[in-house]
Amino acid sequence: MDLDPDLAALRPLGGFFVLRTVPAVPADTAAARPDALPTLASAYNGACNGACDAPCERPGAGTGPDGSHDSLTHRVGTVGERLRAPEPRVAASIAHQALAARLWSVALGCAARYGRLPDLHPRLLRWDTGATAPDDLWLTEVRALPGGAEPATLVDAVVHGHLEPLAAALRARYGVAAGLLWGNAGSALAGAARELDRRARADGDADLAHRARALAAALFAHPRLRLTGTRSGLSFRRRSCCLYYRVPGGGICGDCCFTQPPRPSPRAASG
């Protein structure tokens, strides 16, 4: 199936899978001006050169340590504020997992539905850093990548194109451990595959369910993802923790390496 200009085949799969395209955005929304939103490339590279003026409304919300206008800092700050995260590192991890889930969902959904993948280059994806979950993404140009929906195409688009530079930026800015970030990526991939399989089975689409499982299995063979957790079919138990248990009222996720929230160390409790 050819990619349509609105990527309409993704809509029945739910909010995490939907990828808005610029021609499909209603004229009365801020997204009708995609140039007012930062690209993901700017998030990975640092300052967005003023492109995120619209979402960065709170004083200092989008300002990086060097005083630059920074869309990634703004997103982490937004997540931290809404969750009342106790430290930026926790907010950075949760913001990372949410974006990874969106990227994997879009890629898996397109690959399974269309048998094609649109070019998801960070310069083509714009991001509303002030939005609620799931992260709002807009694709400014729909053009199919060569290579169909082969796992290698998804690895190039998502792992190399997004998750590697995103992880590097979060490690440098917030000191988040690499193992935690790749655990987030593995958890996000497993969750996207499970949801795609669930919806396919609910619709009686055995072929779509099979494609989702096969793609997930092939992607987890990649060295970046292979050691992020243990798998059995579509079930997944990660080897790291996303730190959500440290959010007020939070707990452990269904695929967490912990069976109950860790207790703070005496040093942390006294500090």
Is 268 within a domain?
no
Domain count, the chain: 1
Please, is 91 exposed, middle or buried when counting C-beta atoms within 10 Å of its C-beta (0-12, 13-18, 19+)? Answer: buried
Is 267 within a domain?
no
| Cβ count within 10 A of residue 223 | 7
Is 271 within a domain?
no
**Bigger pLDDT: 49 vs 168:** 168
User: Residue 243 carries which side chain, given as an amino acid letter?
Assistant: L
Strand partners, 144: 118
pLDDT for residue 53: 36
Task: Evaluate the CA torsion angle 144, 146, 150, 152 in order and state its sign.
Answer: negative
**Bigger pLDDT: 56 vs 134:** 134
Is 1 within a domain?
no
pLDDT for residue 58: 35
Number of residues written out for the chain: 271
Token pair, residue 253, equals 């996720």
Domain that includes residue 83, residue range: 8-51+63-260
Spatial neighbors of 43 by CB under 8 A, at least 6 apart, are 70, 71, 72, 75, 122, 127, 129, 166, 169
Token pair, residue 45, equals 């590279």
Is 269 within a domain?
no
| Chain segment 35-92, per-residue pLDDT in tens | 678 899 999 986 443 433 333 333 334 444 434 458 999 999 999 999 999 999 999 9
Is 150 within a domain?
yes
Average pLDDT over the chain reads 86
**Bigger pLDDT: 269 vs 46:** 46
Is 256 within a domain?
yes
> Residue ranges of the alpha helices (H) in 19-176?
40-45, 71-83, 88-114, 151-154, 164-174
Is 163 within a domain?
yes
